[in-house]
Amino acid sequence: MHVGRRGETPSGDCREERPLKTALITGISGQDGSYLAELLLSKGYRVCGTVRRHSVAAEQDTRIAHIRDKIETFYADMTDSASLYRVLLATEPDEIYNLAAQSHVRVSFDQPAYTFETIALGTINLLDAVTRIGKPAKFYQASSSEMFGSSPPPQNEQTPFKPKSPYAVAKVAAFHSVVNAREQGLFACNGILFNHESPRRGETFVTRKITLAAARIKSGLQDKLHLGNLRARRDWGHARDYVEAMWLMLQHEQPADYVISTEQSWSIINFLEEAFGRVDLKWEDYVCGDERLLRPTEVDHLRGDSSKAVRILGWKPAVSFQDLVSEMVEHDMVLAEREAACLT
């Protein structure tokens, strides 16, 4: 979809067209980016987003294929400050949602420098570009519950950060960079989001590994599922609910940081029971522990206290844990059945 210059009036129409509100989403082809793009489009935004060249033909691009003609995409990399500056010049955004990152915690132990570059230095690069452009824009930063690490639950905005992975360390650095930018006058918010999933979650993440395995085992395509720590507990919500919280943060009069969570926690075993139960299987018959999948340092229990977001933003999660897992399993059953049909 071609969008004209902001404020452009169609030929023959003497009325002055109201400028469109423009949002820039870094990492628009990811799980959160795709849901956020849909939300903003429904609200009448001009939606722009950054993608990396090597991700265009990959799994991520399928998440935005259905809205490709409604959004504008630009090649950029969080480690390349010049590319970010060019995108800001081209889009002149009113709101910026920084979602791009190396987002896999386990991978961060194998690639700590790259993880820090994309998350911490990438955020600094983007903030610096915003400052150099000189156009006021509201800024949202995707922070993470992993920053709390070993701090006991429930975790809220006052809970100390005790990161236990390179990913979490990088997120803490980015968090404080955003706070510093806010103290210098930028409208900047950190959304400390607890785990949020969906059928669009990458297949290397544990929740999607579980739902996809349950579907493939049910369809006769897979025999076993290898997992690491089964006792870890997480606060799982739906990504569609959580992107609404991102938007609400930038609509409030004052910038602030908010924890976004369901305020409930479930173990990996709970997730397995729910997912395999949806296809009438016992997870114990198919799941194998694999030490290679354990983190060098584990975060045992994350459960958020999002009372501040409820009170100030009026935000509440709409999708329950059970409905989330059900939606993911149903989606993956369709994929598995389609794969099985191709093999017969």
Cα 66 to Cα 51: distance, rounded to the nearest angstrom? 16
Q: Please count the other Cβ atoms lying within 10 Å of the Cβ belonging to residue 45.
A: 20
Cis amide leading into 154 (omega within 30): yes
273 phi and psi angles, rounded to 5 deg = -60, -45
Task: Note if 38 is an active site residue.
Answer: no
Q: How far is CA 7 from CA 11, 19, 69, 91, in A?
A: 13, 4, 20, 13
How many of the other CB atoms lie within 10 Å of CB of 294?
A: 13
d(Cα 168, Cα 200) in Å, to the nearest integer? 23
User: 196: helix, coil or strand?
Assistant: strand
Unique residue bearing structure tokens 């089964």? 230
Active-site entry in 146, 197, 244, 263: 146
146 is a catalytic site residue? yes
The tokens describing 41, both together, are 């489009």
| Active-site residue flag, 320 | no
CA proximity to 130, closest of 176, 165, 179, 81: 81
Catalytic annotation, pick one of 108, 144, 219, 265? 144
How many C-beta atoms surround the C-beta of residue 98 within 10 A? 26
Burial of 111-146, coded b for 16+ CB within 10 Å and e otherwise, reads ebeebbbbbbbbbbbbbebbeeeeeebbbbbbbbbb
Judge contact between 97 and 34, C-beta under 8 A. Answer: no
Beta-strand (E) ranges in 108-194? 138-144, 188-193
Candidate list 35, 140, 167, 242, residue with the active-site label? 167
CA–CA separation, 216 vs 116, rounded Å?
A: 35
Residues 301, 305: Cα–Cα separation, whole Å: 13
Q: Is the peptide bond before 136 cis (omega within 30 degrees of 0)?
A: no
Sequence letter at residue 161: F
Q: Which sequence positions are flagged as catalytic?
A: 144, 146, 167
